[in-house]
A and B are shown apart, each in its own frame.
Chain A
Amino acid sequence: MDQVPIFDVKGAVYSYNETGPPALDGVDLTVMPGEWVAVLGANGSGKSTLAKVCNALLVPAQGACFSLGLDTSDPGNAGAVRQGVALVFQNPDDQIVASVVEEDVAFGPENLGLPSGEIERRVDRALELVSLTDLRKRGSYSLSGGQKQRLALAGALALEPKALVLDESTSMLDPDGRRSFLGCLGELNRLGMTILQITHAVEDIMFSGRIVVLGAGRVLWDGRQHGFWDGKYREFGFSEPPELALYRELASRGLIDPLTAPRVDDMLEALCL
């Protein structure tokens, strides 16, 4: 199959300053269309830097990054890359530009210079996807932390990107909000959206098909869920969530396909059989 990878990072090195170790120290990562990749790693391991490299906000000093097949070191590609790869940051207050919900969602499409009817359509759809339609006329400052995070996601979705890069974007959500946010991502992923999700929370990665662990600017692990939870996770200081223990038990008894990502639905089905 001759698909163009969504992200193709080749030996990327990036330093914020000359002294000290680089933030990215030779990262290789290839993400194909439709994948959902979870990126884990301790504080300062270079996750946010990797996200910015993928979005052409930073250009690697050595090596290269191709996003959507475009070389990010060419400034002429930056516009196309940022439209096709939308970035959602950790703190929604840092990325909400307008004072009214719908105006903020429109900010991205307005920057693309789209006609007003098209902007309106995209705003409607993005708000619908994150279920903020009822709050569209509200002041963005009056939203709760979780609602702001969903607004930030809507702002990214309005660009109609091929890929989403989420930098700890579920950190402010309550368990319910987190579940509905992840449900929303799952829906998008089924529709073909590629997702690169940076997270500290083990619950978050339940849904992703693939796990990448960064440490000190290097890729420590890159593989599928079942391989990761086969003992490797302890080396990186993670503990296994109970859902995953159940998943592995079911898989070892042959009640569930160990090659699929663990999904609650599948597990329930396996248990009811």
Chain B
Amino acid sequence: MKFGNTSIGQFIPGESVIHLLDPRCKMIGTFVLLTALFMAGAPWDFVPWVFLLAAMPRLSRISMRAILRSGRPVLFLVMFTMLLNVFWTPGNEIARLGPLRITEEGIVSAFCMGVRLYFLVVFAAILMMTTSPMAFSDGLERILSPLARLGLPVSEMAMMMTIALRFIPTLFEETDRILKAQMSRGADFESGSMIKRARSFIPVLVPLFVLVFARAENLAVAMESRCYVPGGHRSRMRPLVWEARDTKAMSCMVAFAVFSFLWGMCLPKIASICLDML
């Protein structure tokens, strides 16, 4: 038994077009794209998005498998949302399972919900896989810098996030190690009722918490010894520079968002005009 996959959604160093973009461009761009994605309400609306996804391995130099796999942790959530939608959407009944009815509208909205959620996670994961946590927090710090003027500790928050991201693989490793240690002493995580299984995780969680606190303490001391002063001025080895390519990429992303929105608006009309003409 392995606890999770440590590589899902984790930064993969590289030199692709997307890797080289300014993190601010990627973050704002992803936000714009995801907003547009949420306006997609009919199955046909997702056609442009499938094409966009298909272009991703080329643009990010990350394999399609790794990209699609990044959506795996939410598959359960996707299924669950889809089920809810199938049974709880009122409309044209096409089948009946006891008290549950399946409607035409339910199937359509379940499909849209599921695809939307999956795409959301996958595009967010592409952002994380192509942006180093340091660059990510630099970008976030700059985007949120207006809030710093209101007295919010933006740079400390960004540093906290960098470290949290950096610690995710370590945490998975440690969890795995503790699980194995407990199993070698006869612990059983795989059989019995849900409650019994949940309870068998307590001997894992306790040492994990102790370990996380010890780790955090040690890291704080190490950061201090490396001259980190919370709230102090830090310079950057590679200060963020907004370049022409960032403007271009941003325009492309906004254009795509607008296009997908118009596509969603106009497609039914075009389709009905075509049908009328036939």
Which segment, of B25-33, B37-45, B231-239, B270-278, faces chain A? B231-239
Note all chain B residues with C-beta closer than 8 A to A137. Answer: 13
Q: Is the CB of B227 within 8 A of A159?
A: yes
> With A97-B163, A139-B11, A141-B169 as given contacts, are A103 and B222 in contact (CB-CB < 8 Å)?
no
For B222-259 the 0/1 string (1 means CB < 8 A from A) is: 11111111001111111100000000000000000000
Q: Is B2 an interface residue (CB 8 A)?
A: no
- Interface: B175 (CB within 8 A): no
Within the assembled complex, what's the spacing in Å between the Cα atoms of A126 and B112?
Answer: 52
Contact of A111 among B162, B166, B170, B234 (CB under 8 A): B234
Does residue A236 face the partner (Cβ distance < 8 Å to B)? no
User: Given the complex, which residues of B lie within 8 Å of A57, measured CB to CB?
Assistant: 221, 224-225
The reply to whether A113 and B234 contact each other, CB–CB distance below 8 Å, is: yes
A100 within 8 A of B: yes
Query: In the assembly, what is the distance between CA of A20 and CA of B227, in Å?
Result: 32
A146 within 8 A of B: no
B165 contacts the other chain (Cβ, under 8 Å)? yes
- B225: which of A55, A114, A138 is its contact (CB, 8 Å)? A55
Min CB distance B219 to A, Å, is 5
Residues of the B chain whose Cβ atoms lie less than 8 Å from the Cβ of A103: 132, 134, 237
- Binary B-proximity of A98-117 (CB < 8 A = 1, otherwise 0): 11101100111111111110
CA separation between A114 and B10, bound complex, in Å? 29
- Write out, one digit per residue, whether chain B residues 180-221 have a CB within 8 A of any chain A CB (1) or not (0): 000000000000000000000000000000000001001101
A residues 109-160 touching B (CB-CB < 8 Å): 109-116, 119-120, 123, 137-141, 155-156, 159
* A140 vs B170: C-alpha distance when bound (angstroms): 11
| Complex Cα spacing A52 to B134, Å | 27
Mask: chain A, 64-106; 1 = CB below 8 Å from B; 0 = not: 0000000000000001001100110101011111111011001
Cα–Cα distance between A68 and B10 once the two chains are bound (Å): 42
> In whole Å, how far is A13's beta carbon from the nearest beta carbon of chain B?
20
When the two chains form their complex, are residues B235 and A113 in contact, meaning their CB atoms are under 8 A apart? yes
Docked Cα-Cα span, A99 to B136, in Å, equals: 11
**Chain B interfacial residues counted at CB < 8 A:** 33
When the two chains form their complex, are residues A98 and B227 in contact, meaning their CB atoms are under 8 A apart? Answer: no
Chain B positions within 8 Å of A116 at CB level: 235-239
Given the complex of chains A and B, what is the CA–CA distance between A161 and B169 in angstroms? 31
Given the interface pairs A103-B237, A106-B237, the reply to whether A111 lies near B226 with Cβ below 8 Å is yes
Given A97-B226, A98-B133, A99-B132, the answer on whether A113 and B166 have CB atoms closer than 8 Å is no
Known contacts A57-B225, A139-B13; decide if A98 and B237 are in contact (CB<8 Å). no
Q: Are A82 and B235 in contact (CB under 8 A)?
A: no
Total chain A interface residues with beta-carbon distance under 8 A? 42
Q: Does B133 lie within 8 Å of A99, measured CB to CB?
A: yes
State the CA gap A150–B148 with chains docked (Å).
36
In the complex the two chains form, what is the Cα distance from A208 to B170 in whole Å? Answer: 34
Give B89-115 as 1s and 0s: 1 = Cβ < 8 Å from A's Cβ atoms.
000000000000000000000000000
A111 touches B232 (CB 8 A): yes
Beta-carbon contact of A98 and B235 below 8 Å: no
- Pick the contact of A110: B222, B224, B235 (CB < 8 A): B235
- A23 vs B219: C-alpha distance when bound (angstroms): 21
Contact yes or no, B225 A82, CB < 8 A: yes
Q: CA–CA, A64 to B233, complex, Å?
A: 30
Q: How far is the CA of A55 from the CA of B222 in the complex (A)?
A: 11
Q: What B residues does A79 contact at CB under 8 A?
A: 227, 229
Q: Does the CB pair B237–A109 fall under 8 Å? A: yes
Q: Find out whether the CB atom of B226 lies under 8 angstroms from the CB atom of A82.
A: yes
Knowing A97-B226, A137-B13, A139-B11, the reply to whether A110 touches B234 (Cβ < 8 A) is yes
Chain B residues proximal to chain A, CB less than 8 Å: 10-13, 132-134, 162-163, 165-166, 169-170, 215, 218-219, 221-229, 232-239
20 A-B pairs besides A91-B218, A95-B222, A97-B223 with CB distance below 8 A are A82-B224, A89-B218, A89-B221, A93-B215, A94-B219, A95-B226, A97-B219, A97-B222, A98-B133, A98-B162, A99-B165, A99-B166, A106-B237, A108-B227, A109-B235, A111-B229, A112-B235, A115-B235, A116-B238, A139-B13
